Amino acid sequence: MKIIALADLHGDLGRLPALAPVLEAADVVLLAGDLTHFGRAQAAQAVIVPLRRHSRRLFAVSGNCDYPEVEDYLAREGIGLHARHELVEGIAFLGVGGSLPCPGRTPNERPDDEFALLLERAAAGLGPHLGMVLLSHQPPFETITDLAYLGGHVGSQAVREFITTRQPLACFTGHIHEGRGQDAVGRTVVANPGPLRWGGYTYAEITAGRLAALEIRQLPA
């Protein structure tokens, strides 16, 4: 199974011509939030519709810059993973949207204890030995992916605890634009490709229930 993960689109699909063949070669495309730039359902639709034309299977969660109704739109379209999971070829894809409170007010924030509850809801009914992939706009605490410009870690303790306990194969994340890179929490690889407008995306392969490859790639200029 080939997976492509994008983050922090902020309504900008200027990279789509170069990205289209990458998406078309993937089995699953994941969008790790901030689909819009302070947009609502209509703005999310303007992003999702073009991406779906090039994707065999698309899943997404909202980000802190998406109004909460974006999550409702994703659910109606059957592609939202917020607080739920979908099984694809024996792998559970589960997710959580929004972010922790930010220095500047954004429309889709929640406290860390709520992240813990939502993640448990997403994983409800999944056996301990089932391969999982986590899609979370908010990165886990104390990784490369949550390291802000000022040098502090601003990720979620709840997301990290969930990863530590459940050990998904991978966690695809975003939110902290400057936190581009990949890291690990135990056996789980955590990847933040940076905002799509910078040209980054995450490529991963799952073979026989195991993560066979994961790397952050760059679109041509």
Write out pLDDT tens, residues 159-201: 999 999 999 999 999 999 999 999 999 999 999 999 999 999 9
Q: What is the pLDDT of residue 49?
A: 98
- Digit-coded pLDDT (tens) for 29-85: 999 999 999 999 999 999 999 999 999 999 999 999 999 999 999 999 999 999 999
- On the question of pLDDT at 151 being above 90, the answer is no
Q: Report how many helices (DSSP H) and strands (DSSP E) the chain contains, helices first.
A: 5, 11
Q: Round the CA-based radius of gyration of the chain to a whole number and report it.
A: 15
Cα gap 9→6, rounded to integer Å: 8
Domain extents in the chain: 2-218
List Cα–Cα distances, 109 to 34, 55, 65, 106, 114, in angstroms: 12, 29, 9, 7, 10
Greater pLDDT, 150 or 200: 200
How much of the chain, in percent, has pLDDT values that exceed 70?
A: 100
Q: At 3, is the secondary structure helix, strand, or coil?
A: strand
Nearest CA among 165, 221, 213, 158 for reference residue 189: 213
pLDDT band at 128; cut points 50, 70, 90: confident
- On the question of pLDDT at 217 being above 90, the answer is yes
In our burial notation (b when 16+ CB lie closer than 10 A, e otherwise), range 129-151 reads ebbbbbbbbbbbbebbbbbeeee
Question: What does the mean pLDDT of the chain come to?
Answer: 97
Residue 62 φ then ψ, to 5°: -85, 165
Section 17-36 average pLDDT: 98
Task: Write the CATH number of the domain with boundaries 2-218.
Answer: 3.60.21.10
SS3 sequence of 114-145: HHHHHHHHHHCCCCCCCCEEEEECCCECCCHH
How many other C-beta atoms are found inside a 10 Å radius of the C-beta of residue 187? 11
